[in-house]
Structures are given as structure tokens and as C-alpha cells.
Amino acid sequence: MSRVRELSPYVELHREQWRELRSSTPLPLTADELVKLRGLGEQVDLAEVAEVYLPLSRLINLQVAARQRLYEATTTFLGEDCRSTKAPYVIGIAGSVAVGKSTTARILRTLLARWPDHPRVDLVTTDGFLYPRAELMRRGIMHRKGFPESYDRRALLRFVTEVKSGAERVSAPVYSHLAYDILPDREQVVQQPDILILEGLNVLQPGPRLTVSDLFDFSIYVDAHIDDIEHWYVERFLKLRHTAFADPASHFHHFAGLPDDEARAEARHLWRTINEPNLMENIKPTRPRATLVLRKDADHTINRVRLRKL
């Protein structure tokens, strides 16, 4: 058994072990800044930033430099001038609906951008690559939003390929939870960042052809027990009644006035029919592919980390 463990490509660390790997990395974030990065229902505090995210930021900083040297080896081999091209370092962040990927992505973006060697960090979420509502309806997959087939995967791959190839200006479509649709007159422009973070449910999906995950230099899977994620989803849904759903323009405005028990039943229904099957069929199977798994406990704290070292 211990021999098998020794041969594993993964190393499992408890938070107490992982936090030592911060080394002397400074904490460049205040409590006020952290509040602005935290999503609805998320609990992350400065201790977690220091103990979990700073070691991660240090690891990625070391890897960015190493990856650039590797890239230069290939350009030298090809007889190209490596100073004229620089491939952005691409990080994928995957995990279930309501697990807290966006908070992880925003914290990491902020921390990575504070290193002088890679100040330009862009964050793009894959919801912009969902098909517009009319197209989902035409395909009869409105109830499959978030499933792999609900995304324009070709456009997403083209986008990441162009960014990674050093294109001067690449634009991504923008999704709105409020409109429950792609906003046709909006775009997110990415201009030669040092690092691109791509966050989304399905970013680690393999495929028969090249997929975005083939272009990742590092990937993170945000993980938790499925019962805890369901609980967080339902609690967030209840809170959204007083925030996003309260806006008359919200697609979910009709939920705003629901009493607790009915809202809970509605949220559970959405979870059981859409988000749980997507997690079990598509998202969770991609977990072994991640470079790093951040495992959350029921109170949202990250207490275990699994790193792929091979």
C-alpha cells in the first residue's frame, strides 16, 4: 500500500503542511479588498488567503518562469526569436456550480497580478461561450445549461488558442445571469496578458480533438462533498431572492417573492435535475486531470490540497 502511495503522481497535503510552503511570500491583500472578491455565501478569510492561496501563488509564480524557459527552448529549436513572442501562461479553474470557483479565480487573479514578473492577469469565465438563449432553444437544450453541449466549444478553443498565441487583441462574448442570456452588444477584450485564468464548469473536459484543457499550463479543481455543494446552492438561491432576483429585470424575478419552503423546493429541483447530473456525469470525472485540487469542508474552509507533481 505504502509503495503504491509512493508511486502516485499526486501528493496530498493537509492545510498545516501546505501553509508552510508559503515560504516568505508576502500577503498583498487587505480584509476590505477580500470582501469585494468574495462571492455570495462564500466564507474565505485572510487566514485562508495566507495559508492556502499564498503557497499556490508562489507555486504558480515559480512555474510561470519555468514554463517560459521551456517555451524558449522550443522557439530556439525552431530558429525563432523568443524575445518577440511570449506565450501567456494559462490556468483553468473547474468545479461544480456553487462550489465557489469564481471566488477562487478572483482571489488568485489578484494575488498573481501583484507579482512584479506577471502583473497582467486576465480572468475570463466560460459562461460567455454558452450558446445564446435562442440557440439553446433551437437545439432543445435550454434545460442543459452548463452541460458541455450548451457551449460553443469551437469558439472557446479559438479564443484560448489566439490568446496563447500572443494575438494583440482577442474578444470573448459576455453572459449575464440577469438577462439569462449572452449580451449581444458586449465583449470582454483580452490583450496579451502575462497570465490568463479561464474559469468554468467544464474547462477540464477531454475531447476527441484538441480542447482548451490541452492549452492549460496549470489547472485547479475546486472540490467539496456533493451534499455540501447542494446545501450551498440552495442557501445561495434563498439569498439571491433578496439580491439578484429582486431586480425586476432578472430572468428569475418571479422567484423573488417565494416563501422559504417553496424557494427551497425550487432550488432543490434545479439542483437535482440540472446541476447535480452535470456534476456527476461531466465535471467530477475531470478531477483527476487537475494539477491541484482544493478540497473544501462543509463550512467552506479549504483544509486539504492535492497536487499533481508528475
Q: What is the largest CA-CA distance in the chain?
A: 67
Q: Which three cell numbers stand for residue 246?
A: 429582486
The answer to whether residue 225 forms part of the interface with ligand ADP (CB under 6 A) is no
The answer to whether residue 91 forms part of the interface with ligand PAZ (CB under 6 A) is no
User: What is the 8-class DSSP label of residue 235?
Assistant: H
- CA atoms of 96 and 240, how far apart (whole Å): 18
The answer to whether residue 101 forms part of the interface with ligand ADP (CB under 6 A) is yes
Q: Which is nearer to ligand ADP, 169 or 177 (CB)?
A: 177
Q: Which three cell numbers stand for residue 193?
A: 496578458
The answer to whether residue 146 forms part of the interface with ligand PAZ (CB under 6 A) is yes
Q: Least distance (Å) from ligand PAZ to the CB of residue 3?
A: 39
Q: Which residue, chain included where needed, has cell 484538441?
A: 210
Q: For the segment 232-271, give every residue that binds ligand PAZ (CB under 6 A).
A: 270
Q: Which of 22, 145, 236, 300 binds ligand PAZ (CB under 6 A)?
A: 145
Span between the terminal Cα atoms of the chain, in Å: 19
Closest listed residue to residue 219, CA positions, set 310, 293, 119, 125 = 293
Q: For the segment 22-81, give every residue that binds ligand PAZ (CB under 6 A).
A: none
The answer to whether residue 125 forms part of the interface with ligand PAZ (CB under 6 A) is yes
For residues 172 and 159, the answer to whether their CB atoms sit within 8 Å is yes
Q: Least distance (Å) from ligand ADP to the CB of residue 99?
A: 4
The answer to whether residue 201 forms part of the interface with ligand PAZ (CB under 6 A) is yes
Q: Which residues of 222-239 are buried (b: 16+ CB within 10 A; e: fewer)?
A: bbbeeebbbebbbebbbe
- Give all strands (DSSP E) within 73-169, no chain letters: 89-95, 121-125
Report the partner that residue 145 touches, choosing among ligand ADP, ligand PAZ, none (CB closer than 5 to 8 A by kind): ligand PAZ
Report the partner that residue 126 touches, choosing among ligand ADP, ligand PAZ, none (CB closer than 5 to 8 A by kind): ligand PAZ
Task: List all residues 6 or more positions away from 24 whose beta carbon is below 8 Å from its beta carbon.
Answer: none
Q: Least distance (Å) from ligand PAZ to the CB of residue 302?
A: 19
Q: Least distance (Å) from ligand ADP to the CB of residue 40?
A: 4
Q: For the segment 45-74, give every residue that binds ligand ADP (CB under 6 A).
A: none
Q: For the segment 154-183, give every residue that binds ligand ADP (CB under 6 A).
A: 177
User: What is the 8-class DSSP label of residue 129?
Assistant: G
Segment interacting with ligand PAZ (CB under 6 A) among 10-18, 64-72, 106-114, 123-131? 123-131
Q: Which three cell numbers stand for residue 188?
A: 470582454
Q: Report how far Cα 244 is from the mean position of its chain's Cα atoms.
A: 21
- Binding residues for ATP are 95-102
Q: What are the residues binding ligand PAZ (CB under 6 A)?
A: 97, 125-127, 145-146, 200-201, 270, 274-275
Q: What are the residues binding ligand ADP (CB under 6 A)?
A: 39-40, 95, 97-102, 177, 240, 244, 252
